[in-house]
Structure 1
């Protein structure tokens, strides 16, 4: 596993960034950087399982290992979903963390992903676009 880091400064308070990240409509918008039509099912409560899907209902399932509203969300990816069937994977410590740090004038959104080599190039292209989407959405909400 390789730890990948991404960061963006957003001219909005953490609550607005958090809502942009995890409210269904906004999640669908920013996560289109990974796959158009992406969505998730399940709750984001600590200990719960959440399923991330593409429009064909394929994707992955993860456990929420940390949820501190407006500050931090951490997922542990546990496996893939193909045709609705969950297939556990031995991805070691495949975590994805979203950390919000408030400064005087903005919120810094940091993302850390423990990724296998096979996904590294995809993440290196998609995450900067995804974070730019979050920034645009958060800064332009009424």
Structure 2
């Protein structure tokens, strides 16, 4: 059974700064360390672009940017897993969408994160890692 997960955080920083910190190379590496130390991506945050979200071992996820509207919204369609940089035959993450809304709150930013169709086996892990990752992002944006 797949589960929908939602996370929200308020950050005392303008939306453009949060977008850059969240999706720029150095900022992305920092906040996603909560999921895997050394995380990085290959690709562009543009509608239709192919992306690879990787850890130091080359394991990670293949994805496509469904929609990107800087600095307000990005939707990522997961296409599957990578092992050692190569596609792995596994349907667990196919069709999972990861969506981010960055909403202007009068100079602050409210980030709403939605993951739909998360495999049940990953829910507990996601509920631990996502809040930690968003706190890292908040700290980086507010300092």
Q: TM-score normalised to the size of structure 1? A: 0.94
Q: More displaced, 11-20 or 81-90?
A: 81-90
* Range moving further from structure 2, 48-57 or 83-92: 83-92
Q: What is the deviation of 1:106?
A: 1.4
Alpha-carbon offset, residue 87 of structure 1? 2.6
In structure 2, the partner of 1:82 is: 83
Cα distance per residue 1:105-137 (max 9 Å; x no partner) = 411011001211111111100000000011111
Distance 1:78 1:89, change over 3 A: farther
Shift of 1:92: 5.3
The equivalent residue for 1:54 is 55
Contact 1:2 1:116 in 2 (8 A): yes
Q: 4+ runs of 1 displaced by more than 4 Å?
A: none
Instruction: Say whether the 8 Å CA contact 2:15–2:107 is kept in structure 1.
Output: no
**Unmatched runs of 5 consecutive residues or more in structure 1:** none
Task: Determine helix, strand or coil for the equivalent of 1:56.
Answer: coil
Match for 1:102 among 92, 95, 104?
104
Deviates more, 1:87-96 or 1:13-22: 87-96
Q: Which residue of 2 aligns with 1:70?
A: 71
Question: Normalised by the size of structure 2, how large is the TM-score?
Answer: 0.93
Number of residues paired by the alignment? 140
Structure 2: gaps spanning 5 or more residues: none
Superposed CA RMSD in Å reads 1.2
Q: Distance in 2 between matches of 1:113 and 1:89?
A: 18
Partner residue in 2 for 1:134: 137
Instruction: Quickly say closer, same or farther: Cα 1:53–1:92, change in 2 above 3 A.
Output: closer
